[in-house]
Structure 1
Amino acid sequence: MKHGALAILPLAAGAALYGFAFGLLAAQVGFPWWGVALMSSFVHAGSSQIVAVEQFSGTSAVVGAALAGAALNLRYIGIVASLSELLNGLSFRMKLLTIHITGDENWALTMAERAKNPEIGASFLIGSGLVMISVWTGSTTLGAFAGATLPNLEQLGLGFAFTAAFIAMAVGLWRGPANLIPWAASFTVTICAVTLGAPKAYAIVAGAVFGLAVSHIVRSKRKLVL
């Protein structure tokens, strides 16, 4: 677990920055600090939390905000499925804990390290996950404390912290020109869906599904060529 905990520290530092920004803005749209802390510890999914808070600030509808966040979290179905081999041998309780503390960053790092060294296993994922959930919950809660006393931070452009964070994650996931067509397709569908008035969370899901379909088609054609 120590190996995973140390390896994730650079990513955790980045998550702390936009976690603090998220806490600030969440507090300013009406979330109490303890609500932010509970959301971060139980949901533990930054992108869906951001979308849920944005939906809540626009409509004040708790159910709509929850559905928006849940829609964006559909990607975890695939993430959890990819962990089946890695989680073999763990008790049911440990599997549940490991799945809960698995986020985009520590999952991606674990899969990357495992590709280089098959000996990397559940302990790496758990160690890195414990660090990430602790840093995320702590930074968002601290941000919420600060956000309750500071002026309107959207006017200062702090909301761009989320955009910058997602751009940084996208750069880390870029694997070369092969990604260009699926990413462009996903981006185009998402923008069109938002332009047509679809809720942002569902627009993102639609873009992701379309991008995956295009990626499958591209890979199938390449196999046929080879």
Structure 2
Amino acid sequence: MITILPLAAGAAIYGFAFGLLAAQVGFPWWGVALMSSLVHAGSSQIVAVEQFAASPAVIGAALASAALNLRYIGIVASLSDILDGLPLRFKLLAIHITGDENWALTMSERAKNPTIGAPFLIGSGIVMISVWTLSTSFGAIVGSNLPNLEEFGLGFAFTAAFIAMARGLWSGHSRLFPWLISFFITMIFVLLGLAKAYAIVAGTLAGLACIAVLRRRSNHQ
């Protein structure tokens, strides 16, 4: 669990920023804590809060959040060997607390030492979800007692937190083209005046389609 602490410290910073802004748009601290513990997905939480602040489009927020987390289908599938033999309740726990950070760290450590498995994944996951929930809750408590974050120059916190998480998902220049496609499709939908949530869904699907095409071409070569 000690190995995950540097990553947890980074998550705490943008978790605090998320909590600040969530409180500013009307989310109570306990609501932020509940969301962080039950959803445990920073990018989708940011999008959902922004969407709820702009409009009551619950379906749009849910679709955008789901689109951002489609990668977890692959992440969970990659855990089949690690979770093999565990009771169902522990499998469900492991899946829930698995995030980008502790999954990447577990896979990295497992590549060096095949004995690394479920205990490492679950232990590091417990650290991450605990830090995330506490940092977002603390940010919400602080944010609810501040008048207006724009006056403190913190209006960029949502964007900064999202950029920090996106940077963690960067896997090299081989993924540059799908990222660009996703960005441009999203911007086109935004410029057309559609809801941002639906623009995110469109951009995500375009990026996934691009990755599928590139993989198919590489397999045929």
Q: Deviations over 1:185-207 (max 9, x none)?
A: 22222222222233333333332
In the other structure, the counterpart of 2:30 is: 34
In the other structure, the counterpart of 1:106 is: 102
Task: Report the AA paired with residue 220 of structure 1.
Answer: R
Asked if structure 1 preserves the Cα contact closer than 8 Å seen for 2:15 and 2:139, the reply is yes
In the other structure, the counterpart of 2:137 is: 141
Ranges in structure 2 where 5+ consecutive residues have no aligned partner: none
Asked if structure 2 preserves the Cα contact closer than 8 Å seen for 1:71 and 1:201, the reply is no
Asked if structure 2 preserves the Cα contact closer than 8 Å seen for 1:16 and 1:139, the reply is yes
In the other structure, the counterpart of 1:22 is: 18
In the other structure, the counterpart of 1:48 is: 44
Asked if structure 2 preserves the Cα contact closer than 8 Å seen for 1:20 and 1:144, the reply is yes
Q: How many residues align?
A: 221
Q: Distance in 1 between matches of 2:109 and 2:20?
A: 34
How far did residue 134 of structure 1 move?
0.4
In the other structure, the counterpart of 1:97 is: 93
How far did residue 67 of structure 1 move?
4.9
Deviates more, 1:214-223 or 1:50-59: 214-223
2:178 to 161, 178, 182: 182
Q: Does 1:85 align with 2:60?
A: no
How far did residue 137 of structure 1 move?
0.5
Evaluate the alpha carbon distance shift between residue 73 and residue 177 of structure 1 in structure 2; reply closer, same or farther with a 3 A threshold.
closer
Evaluate the alpha carbon distance shift between residue 129 and residue 159 of structure 1 in structure 2; reply closer, same or farther with a 3 A threshold.
farther
Q: Distance in 2 between matches of 1:24 and 1:165?
A: 11
In the other structure, the counterpart of 1:118 is: 114
Report the TM-score when normalising by structure 1.
0.86
Task: Report the AA paired with residue 221 of structure 1.
Answer: R
Q: Within 5 Å, give how 1:64-83 maps onto structure 2.
A: 65-83=61-79
Q: Distance in 2 between matches of 1:172 and 1:70?
A: 19
Q: Distance in 2 between matches of 1:218 and 1:165?
A: 30
In the other structure, the counterpart of 2:213 is: 217
Partner SS, residue 39 of structure 1: helix
Asked if structure 2 preserves the Cα contact closer than 8 Å seen for 1:72 and 1:202, the reply is no
Q: Within 5 Å, give how 1:133-212 maps onto structure 2.
A: 133-212=129-208
Q: Distance in 2 between matches of 1:68 and 1:177?
A: 25
